[in-house]
C-alpha cells in the first residue's frame, strides 16, 4: 500500500511537497484554504506584488526615457484595470497549480485542518461539512501572517497590511509605510510609482536591517528620490483615525526618535514590520510537536518534529521566511519519508529584495564574516564599468564576492542593480559547488551582459579586471 501523506498548507512549500510525494508514488491529500494550491505567495504575496512591481518599473522607465530623447505623456492609471491585471496573473498561476494537482492525482481539499492525532486530521471544508483524513505522515506547511503591533492596531480601512495593500483600494495622495524592510520598500515603491507621496519610517539606523550595507547604500541613493521622506531611528508611538462627514479620511500618526517629525496625517498607513509563523494549529497540543520561543515549530535536519510522524516546512519551521526555502524543505521532508538519505543543509539560501534597483545576496556577508571571526577578502566590481549597464543607463549597481583568501573559495555573493534577482543564481551555484574565484574568472561569460560583472568581480580579486584598473597589493 502506498504511503499516505497529508500536507497541511498549500503554499509553495506545501504544494511542492505534495506534488513530489505524488511523483514518488505516494497517496497524497493536500489541504489549503484557497480554491487552488498557491497559498499566501501566489494569492496574496510574492506573485501579485511582483506583478505590480513590474507595472511600477514600466512607469519609471517611461519617465526615465526623457534622458535618452524619448518622451511620453504623463501616465494615467486605471486602478480597476490594474487590479484586474494583477488578479489575472494570480488566477493563471493558481489555476495552473490546480490543474497540475489533478494530473498528479493529488487529492486537494479546500478547508481548514485540525489535528486529531499524530496520524489523523479533521478538515472543515470550505464548501461545508467535515472530512476525516487518516494518514501515515503529516507535513505542516501552514506559513505565516503579517506581524501586528497591538499598541498601534486600530480598526480602520485606512490602515493596511501587506495583504490589503495589494488590493489597491485606491491611489492615495499620501501614505506612510511603517517598516523599512523588503515588504515595506517593495509595496511603498509600487504606490510611489503610481503617484502617491510615500514616506517610510524605520526604527533602526538603516533600511533593510540585516542586509549588506554596501548594497543598501546604492539602494538608498534611489530611495531618497523615490520616497517623499525616510525617517530612520524613528518609532511610531500612536495612530488614530481622522474622520470626516463621510467617514474616515486619514490616519493621524505620532513619532519619536532622533529625527522624528511632528505629528502628521496620511491618507493611508501600511504596516509592514515582518511576519509571524502560523504555529497555532488546532490540535497541535495533542502531539509531541514543540514550538520554540519565537513561535517556530522545532524540526531536525530532515524537517521531522519531535513527533516522528509529523514534519514541518517553510515559514512555520524557521527563518528565513522565503518561498524557495520552503519548496526545498518540502522536497527534503518527502525524501526523508520515502527513506532516502536526505537532509536540509544548503550552503546558501538566496534572498532577493525586488526594489529598484534590486538587491540580492547568498552565502555570508561581510558583517557575517566579522561576527564569525572569519578572515575574508572582498572583491567589488562597480557597474559603472559594465558596458551593458552603461548601455541600458543603469550604472547604479555593484557585484561583490566574499572570498576565503587562503582557499580562494567563494563564500558569499552580493549584487545590487537592475535584475540582481536574476543574476544571483550563479552565485548560489558557485557557493554550493565550492567554486573558487579562479573557477568563476575562467568561466566565459557572454558580452555584453550584466552577468559579466560576476566574472569581473572574480578577476578583481586577482587585481586584473579588464574594465577596472586596481592592481592587487603584493
Q: How confident is the model at residue 246 (pLDDT cuts 50, 70, 90)?
A: confident
Query: Please, are residues 222 and 356 in contact by the beta-carbon 8 Å criterion?
Result: yes
Helix residue ranges, H only, 104-212: 162-165, 182-193
Taking residues 206-235, what's their average pLDDT?
A: 94
Residue 29 grid coordinates? 491529500
Taking residues 202-220, what's their average pLDDT?
A: 94
Q: For 388-392, which contacts have Cβ atoms below 8 Å and span 24 or more sequence positions? A: 388/448, 388/449, 388/450, 388/452, 389/417, 389/418, 389/450, 389/453, 391/448, 392/418
The residue ranges of every structural domain in the chain are 4-145+276-337, 150-273, 351-462
Statement: residue 343 has pLDDT above 60: yes
Cα gap 286→115, rounded to integer Å: 8
447 is catalytic: yes
The CATH class of the 150-273 domain is alpha beta
3-state secondary structure of 257: strand
pLDDT of residue 96: 96
pLDDT tens profile 389-430: 999 999 999 999 999 999 999 999 999 999 999 999 999 999
Statement: residue 70 has pLDDT above 50: yes
pLDDT of residue 1: 45
Residue 464 grid coordinates? 586584473
The residues, any chain, with a CB within 8 Å of residue 359's CB and separated by 6 or more, are: 208, 211, 212, 215, 216, 219, 352, 353, 414, 415, 416, 420
**Candidates 67, 340, 447, 464; catalytic one:** 447
Cα gap 168→163, rounded to integer Å: 10
Statement: residue 148 has pLDDT above 90: no
Higher pLDDT, 376 or 259: 376
Statement: residue 245 has pLDDT above 90: no
Taking residues 101-128, what's their average pLDDT?
A: 96
Statement: residue 300 has pLDDT above 90: yes
Whole-number mean pLDDT of the chain?
Answer: 94
For the segment(s) 351-462, the CATH number from 3.60.20.10, 3.30.70.3270, 2.130.10.10, 3.30.390.30 is 3.30.390.30
The yes-or-no answer to whether 4-145+276-337 and 150-273 have a common fold is yes
**Residues of the chain with pLDDT > 90: what percent?**
90
Return the axis-axis angle of helices 46-64 and 79-103, rounded to nearest 10°. 140
Residue 216 grid coordinates? 543598501
Query: How big is the chain by its Cα radius of gyration, in Å?
Result: 24
Taking residues 37-57, what's their average pLDDT?
A: 94
Which of 23-37, 57-71, 147-161, 331-345 has the weakest average pLDDT?
147-161
Cα gap 26→338, rounded to integer Å: 9
pLDDT of residue 474: 61
- Closest by CA position to 108, among listed 253, 219, 10: 10
The CATH class of the 4-145+276-337 domain is alpha beta
**Core vs surface per residue 94-123: b (16+ CB within 10 A) or e:** beebbeebeebebbbbbbbbebbebbebbb
Taking residues 371-378, what's their average pLDDT?
A: 95
Say what the pTM is: 0.93
Query: Please, are residues 19 and 101 in contact by the beta-carbon 8 Å criterion?
Result: yes
Amino acid at each position: 500500500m502506498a504511503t499516505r501523506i497529508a500536507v497541511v498548507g498549500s503554499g509553495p512549500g506545501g504544494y511542492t511537497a505534495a506534488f513530489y510525494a505524488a511523483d514518488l508514488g505516494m497517496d497524497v491529500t493536500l489541504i489549503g484554504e484557497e480554491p487552488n494550491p498557491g497559498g499566501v505567495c501566489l494569492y496574496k504575496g510574492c506573485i501579485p506584488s511582483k506583478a505590480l512591481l513590474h507595472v511600477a518599473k514600466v512607469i519609471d522607465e517611461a519617465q526615465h526615457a526623457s534622458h535618452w530623447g524619448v518622451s511620453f505623456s504623463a501616465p494615467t492609471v486605471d486602478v480597476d484595470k490594474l487590479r484586474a491585471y494583477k488578479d489575472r496573473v494570480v488566477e493563471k498561476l493558481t489555476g495552473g497549480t490546480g490543474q497540475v494537482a489533478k494530473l498528479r492525482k493529488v487529492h486537494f481539499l479546500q478547508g481548514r485542518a485540525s489535528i486529531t492525532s499524530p496520524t489523523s486530521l479533521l478538515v472543515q471544508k470550505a464548501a461545508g461539512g467535515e472530512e476525516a483524513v487518516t494518514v501515515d505522515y503529516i507535513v505542516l506547511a501552514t506559513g505565516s501572517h503579517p506581524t501586528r503591533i497591538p499598541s498601534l492596531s486600530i480598526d480602520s480601512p485606512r490602515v493596511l497590511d501587506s495583504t490589503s495593500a495589494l488590493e489597491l483600494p485606491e491611489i492615495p495622495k499620501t501614505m506612510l509605510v511603517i517598516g523599512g524592510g523588503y515588504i515595506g520598500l517593495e509595496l511603498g515603491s509600487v504606490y510611489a510609482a503610481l503617484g502617491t507621496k510615500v514616506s517610510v519610517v524605520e526604527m533602526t539606523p538603516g533600511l533593510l536591517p540585516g542586509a549588506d550595507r554596501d548594497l543598501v547604500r546604492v539602494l538608498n541613493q534611489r530611495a531618497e528620490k523615490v520616497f517623499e521622506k525616510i525617517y530612520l531611528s524613528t518609532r511610531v508611538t500612536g495612530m488614530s483615525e481622522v474622520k470626516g462627514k463621510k467617514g474616515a479620511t486619514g490616519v493621524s500618526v505620532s513619532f519619536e526618535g532622533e529625527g522624528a517629525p511632528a505629528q502628521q496625517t496620511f491618507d493611508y498607513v501600511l504596516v509592514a514590520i515582518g511576519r509571524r509563523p502560523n504555529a497555532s494549529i488546532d490540535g497541535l497540543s495533542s502531539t509531541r510537536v514543540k514550538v520554540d520561543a519565537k513561535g517556530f515549530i522545532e524540526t531536525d535536519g530532515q524537517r521531522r518534529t519531535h513527533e516522528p510522524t509529523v514534519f514541518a516546512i517553510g515559514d512555520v519551521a524557521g527563518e528565513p521566511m522565503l518561498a524557495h526555502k520552503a519548496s526545498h524543505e518540502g522536497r527534503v521532508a518527502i525524501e526523508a519519508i520515502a527513506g532516502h538519505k536526505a537532509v536540509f543543509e544548503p550552503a546558501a539560501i538566496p534572498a532577493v529584495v525586488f526594489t529598484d534597483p534590486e538587491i540580492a545576496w547568498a552565502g555570508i556577508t561581510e558583517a557575517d564574516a566579522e561576527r564569525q571571526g572569519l578572515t575574508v577578502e572582498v572583491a567589488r566590481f562597480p557597474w559603472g564599468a559594465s558596458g551593458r549597464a552603461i548601455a541600458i543607463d543603469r550604472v547604479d549597481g555593484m557585484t561583490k564576492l566574499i572570498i576565503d583568501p587562503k582557499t580562494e573559495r567563494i563564500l558569499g555573493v552580493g549584487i545590487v542593480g537592475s535584475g540582481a534577482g536574476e543574476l544571483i543564481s550563479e552565485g548560489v551555484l558557485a557557493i554550493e559547488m565550492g567554486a573558487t574565484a579562479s573557477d568563476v574568472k575562467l568561466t566565459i561569460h557572454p558580452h555584453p551582459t550584466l552577468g559579466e560583472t560576476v566574472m569581473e568581480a572574480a578577476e578583481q580579486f586577482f587585481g586584473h579586471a579588464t574594465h577596472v584598473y586596481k592592481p592587487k597589493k603584493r
